[in-house]
Structures are given as structure tokens and as C-alpha cells.
Structure 1
């Protein structure tokens, strides 16, 4: 077993780990012990729910608050927590509890899973990430408990607060309210919406960036380039999204802000997407596709990827092609990685949208595209078509959610066969544009 573990490629181990957790979660969710009296869940629907939870997406084919009992909701919360932290990080936690040590393979898996570029002191880093996660979730649960007591008795409010805090920080977008209307009934509650917003923003900012901010005492000059880009893009996307959504829909400023935040891969809703204008829906889709920052609980192609691609496009159009920002030059390898992520992301969205359009010819393209981008970027927002999709479309979305959580490049690495060639061909120029 140890030899197999060491010889197996990292991409396969990551995919296998997530796949195993999803399978176990699906089995648990479909058992009668997890369901409300009189409720049944077939394997495909249970698999969809488990995949959505582990991939911290939030798309659902049932109403969780009307389908799962206390145990089922607990299983759902655990799956979300595992998905947000990552299977490898959970494994490191278990190793620490058991008093064991991290081997080289475990360290390399952690580096791959967290999108790191170096090994650092990984055991210490993993501990810090766990502390950040549980600290903010605990604070979030307490802050949500008070506004929720206006709608529920103290015990029910506490249960909802704990679940929502885990869901929000991990950018999952699940809720267990009985109505199935997400957070629309609480759209006017500023304290509630702002608490959810802050949890989503912190969870989507990236653990390394949060650590960097704390260690450098929020001194902009001392921050790493990645942290600066993540901070700049976070402020820019939230501000631009709020303004654009405000003037393309009938939302209040609070609702527009909240929708701009949750488009960063959270999946909650304070305003129905089905009521969005085409312009607002386009803005929302772009925000979803970009998603969160690297090394965070969110998905999408990541804020740094979008920034680097924009930087290269602008830099290549000017007289001085310096590829620099914030007084730092960006390496050429980073641009290659960014365009690779963009290419595979667009391909996944295009193929899945095409297949679902074929299977669901009665649906509007905008609805299908929203659903697919939401699944790929692990957002969970929907125009309301998820529950009505045919089994084949649900399977496609399961694959898309899985791909989006692991990353399309990681999935592509699973399909790579053969060895690299030692020889290379003669270089020749290609006309572009």
C-alpha cells in the first residue's frame, strides 16, 4: 500500500481522495437515518448532493431543509468542511492528532492541493490554516446567531448559524431553511447579510494571503505580489459588481452588494437570478467564472489568473512590453499557466453547456450557461432549473463540479499518457490577429 501511494501521481491521488469522500457522502445521505420521515433519495440525487457539498458548490436537486434531518444536515456540513479544507489537509489533521509525521509524498500532495510553489514548513502552515478556518467559523456562528434569533427559537437559530457559518466561510452556498428560497427572506437584514458577506470574502481571499496580511501588519509595501493582486481584484470585482448589478436590476444597494459577494463562488441568494436582466446575468456569469483567489475555499479560474491575463493583454498593446505591476515583473511562466487555466476552463464550460443544451433543448441558453459556470466555478447559484434537469444533465453537472473543484489542469493531467519527447521541432512564426 505504501509503495502504491508513493508511485501514484499526485493528480490521481487528489482525484481519488475527493471521489472517495463523495461516494461515502452519497451513501450516507441516501440512508433513511439521514432523511426526514417519508422522504427518499435515489443514488444519483444523493451523489449530486454529495458532489455539490464536497466541491463546495451549492447546487441542489432537492431542498436540503425539507429533505435531510439533523443527522443528514450534519453529514452535509462535514462534507462541506472537508471540501473547503481539502482532503489532504484533513489527512494532515488526522496525522497530527495521531501524533504521526508527514512524509514527502503527503507534503507534495499538500503543495499540489493548496496550489503552493514551495514546501515551507508545511506542518505549521497546515495548522495555521486549520486555526484560521475554525476561528472564523466560530466567530461567524456567534455573529449569525443573534440576528437569526429574531426568526427562530434560540436552539434552532444556533443550528442554522453553525451550518451557515461553515457553508459561508467555505463558499458552499448551502442552507437548511425549510422554505427553499435561500437567503431571500433575510435580504433586508443588514447585520445578517453583512456577516455572511464577510465570511464569504475571508474564505475566498486565500489562506496564504490572509497569513501574509497578518504577518506584514497590513503594510501594503511589504505584501507579496500575490497578496496585492488578490486584494486589488477583490476590491475591484466587489465594487464593480455591486455598481453594475445595482443599475441593471431592481435591487437595493445591500442586495446588489450581497449578490456581488456571493458571485465569488458562494451561491447564496438574496435576490432571485430568474429576475435578473440579461445584462445583469452576464455580469454575474463573468464574476462567477473569475471566482475567488488562489489557495482559498472558492473556485473559478481565480482572481490572479484574470489579473495576469489582463496585464499581458494591456502590456502587449503598449510601446513598453514590461509585464510588470506593483513595481514587480511577472515571470513568463506565470502567463503561460494563466492562459492554460483559462483555455481549459473555457473548454469545460463550452462542452458542458453544449451537451446540456442538446439534452435540454427546451431551456434557454442563458439558463444553461449560468448553471454550467456556476457548477464549474463551484458557486451554486441557479436560475431555478437544477431540480428539473434530466439524469444525463445531472451527471454532466457532477463531472463539471468535480472538475471545477480539482481544477481543469489537474483533470487534464490525469488524461496525459506517454513520455516527453527529447527532440523538438524547428520553430516557425505564426500570424496572430
Structure 2
């Protein structure tokens, strides 16, 4: 028996050793989703009298692992404390990444981290070098713990006014985890998200800070700490992320104020949460088409690389905008007195194109499956799923099973990455032959 167990273990180890890191990460996310769905279907995972079918459990688990926030059943009204705890754990693992959590557990157990494990974390965090990977994971886990504990403590007074102390403690913890990981889940019940707290300055600001910090990326957080907030000393990547985030945040708030005349606090909150967070302090179903368009653009751009958020990322948007600027100004592609590498534009354009293809194909499928619903609402739902934003105009629970499957696949693609998924099973070597070059007319 011991020999059989050892043989199976060695076979699995050899198999994993021959797999590319991206493939292992994608399969890890898929297995985590299936495990989460199975746990959410347990009788004690739901409130007495509530029922969660296999597709609803799969949709909820996918939304949690992909840190999206779209729901077909209300989290607070449907799931028990155990079910909500499962969702919170799925959000935490999905936000930090399966590889980072695995390395963290190995470090706690005192195990040595292999080169394969370091490669997995590098792929998950989208960093260039394997150097200092263990220190990086330790720093990420510490930053996450500090931010989420602080967020829970600061959120408690707001929830304590409306709930019993123990329930307020749990709501604060759940909200802090969901906000820092840009998930957008809430356990308040009633399907209102944070609308009852739209005038609560403390909770709005705490949520804003948690979402922004979780969305700028761990490398940026650590670099800001290293430079002690001195912008001049920060890396080029950090400067791009911070400046682009600030422009999108302020610009989005101004546009939402102009289109829907909401208060500045609500406009700032919606501009922030549209960047893949998924919380809402206003009824999105009652917003104007112009306001919804602003939110869709913000959702599609999303958060930053190496963060808990999704979308095409702020750096991709920056590179594309700098290319437009360089065409008119006749300058080289770059910014902040730095020049971008030659491959940056092609990579950014590929990510942008793949994102548009996923959104376009998914929206087409939803239009075929849901002909009774408006095109704008279906497009909003698809962009929200792809960017893992989790915002909705209120139609998610009305969608047919096939449409929910479309959104499940879209959320998974948005979390793992369309370009990554396409390259998972392709191991063709780069050809050595080169064809004769010939120009075509473009534009």
C-alpha cells in the first residue's frame, strides 16, 4: 500500500513538473471552483428552507474564486455562516492566487520551496524575475493581513449600528476580505449591496481605500512603502499605475456626476468600484445610458497587473494612450522620461483585442439566449463578468441556465486571462524560416 501511494505521488510530481506554470494555475483555479461549488451545495451551507442548485453553486463559486461579485442568489439571504465562510475563503484564495496561498502554507509548515513553486508564483503575480520570490510572498501575505484587519476594524462601527455585535463583527470581516480582493460580495441580505450605506462617510472611505490598495497591485504597494511615498524615487511601473489610477478615478467621478447628477461621494464610490470591485451605493438599473457607458469603460480597463482585480489593466490602457500620443507628437513610446520596450505596444494591443473578442462573443451569445432583454444591459453584464467587476443592472438572477454558463466561462477567462488560456495548450516552437516582407495599406 505504501509503495502504491509512493508511486502515485511520484507520477503526479513528474506530471506536474512537465506542465507549464500557466496551465497548472488555470487547472488549480478550475479545481478550486469545483470544490467550492460542492461545499456550497451541502445542506448546512444554506439557511433552512433555502435551496441552491448545482448551477447556482457553480456560478457562486466561480464568481468568488474569480473575485467578481455577480450573484444569482443573494449571499446573505441564502447562505448560512458556513456557506458565507466558504465564499470568503474562495475570495481570499482567488484574490491572492492559488500559487501564492500554496507557497504561504508551505512556508508556515517549514517546507522548502522548489524552483517549480517559485515559477508558479512568478507567473501568478506577473513578475519578471524569480529572485526574492519567498520574501515577496511573505510581504504580500503580511500586507494582506494588515489591510484586511484594519478594514474590518474600521468597518465595524458602521455595521454595529444596524446589527448585533457578533453579526457586525462577521459582516466587517467579510466586507474587508471582499473589498480588498475587489470581489464585490456582501453578506447584508436584501440584494441592495451598500446602497443603505451610501451616506456613511466612514464605510465609503474605508471601502474606497481597500479597493484601491487591492487594485493597484502588490508590487506597487511594496514599492510605495520602499520609497516612503516619494513619487520621484518610485519605479516607472509604479508611476504609471498610480497616475493612471488617479486619472481614471477622478475622471470617472466627474463624468458620473455630469451624466447622473449623483452626489460627489456616490460618484467617487462608483468610479472606484467600477474598476473591478463590484460594490454599488446607487441603483445601477436606474442610471442613464451615458452613466452606464462610463461604468462599462471603467470596468473594461479594470485594475492593475499583479493585483486582485481584473480587466485589461491600467498599464495596457496607458501604453495604448501613449501610442496615440506618440503618433501626434512624433515622440517615442513611453512616459516619465522613460522609453517603453519595443514589444510593449504589440502585447497591449493583443490584450485589448482579445478582451474585445471575449466581450463581443459573449454578448452575442447572451443576445441570442436572452432576446427579451436590452442589448445595453447584456453588454454591461458581459463586460462586468470579463473584467471580474461584479456590477449588474439587476438581470443576473433572471438569466437562463445557458446564459449563466456563458458568464461562468467569461469570469474564468477574465480571471486567468484570455491570452494565457489560448497559449496553454500550444507548445509549437518559434519557426526559424522568415517570409518576404511586404507592406499593406492600413487605416
Q: Within the alignment, does 1:13 sit opposite 2:49 as a pair? A: no
Per-residue CA deviations over 1:233-260 (Å, capped at 9, x if unaligned) read: 1110110011100111131111111100
Q: Distance in 1 between matches of 2:350 and 2:17?
A: 28
Structure 1 counterpart of 2:237: 226
Pairing partner for 1:76 from 87, 95, 99: 87
Structure 1 counterpart of 2:377: 367
In structure 1, the gaps of 5 or more residues are: none
Query: How far has the Cα of 1:340 moved from its partner?
Result: 1.1
Question: Which stretch shifts more, 185-194 or 20-29?
Answer: 185-194
Quote the RMSD (CA, aligned, Å).
1.0
1:88-99 to 2 correspondences below 5 Å: 88-99=99-110
1:24-423 to 2 correspondences below 5 Å: 24-318=35-329, 320-416=330-426, 418-423=428-433
In structure 2, the gaps of 5 or more residues are: 1-11
Query: How far has the Cα of 1:415 moved from its partner?
Result: 4.4
Q: Distance in 1 between matches of 2:311 and 2:339?
A: 25
Q: Distance in 1 between matches of 2:441 and 2:128?
A: 34
- Count, aligned residues: 432
Query: How far has the Cα of 1:102 moved from its partner?
Result: 1.4
Q: Distance in 2 between matches of 1:396 and 1:21?
A: 19
Q: Distance in 1 between matches of 2:366 and 2:427?
A: 29
Q: Distance in 2 between matches of 1:322 and 1:127?
A: 38
Query: How far has the Cα of 1:317 moved from its partner?
Result: 2.5
Q: Distance in 1 between matches of 2:47 and 2:164?
A: 20
Per-residue CA deviations over 1:174-196 (Å, capped at 9, x if unaligned) read: 00112111000111111111111
What's the TM-score once normalised by structure 2's chain length? 0.96
SS in 1 for 2:397: helix
Per-residue CA deviations over 1:202-250 (Å, capped at 9, x if unaligned) read: 1001100011011011111211111001110111011001110011113
SS in 2 for 1:317: helix
SS in 1 for 2:373: coil
Per-residue CA deviations over 1:142-171 (Å, capped at 9, x if unaligned) read: 000012111112111111000000000000
Query: How far has the Cα of 1:417 moved from its partner?
Result: 5.3
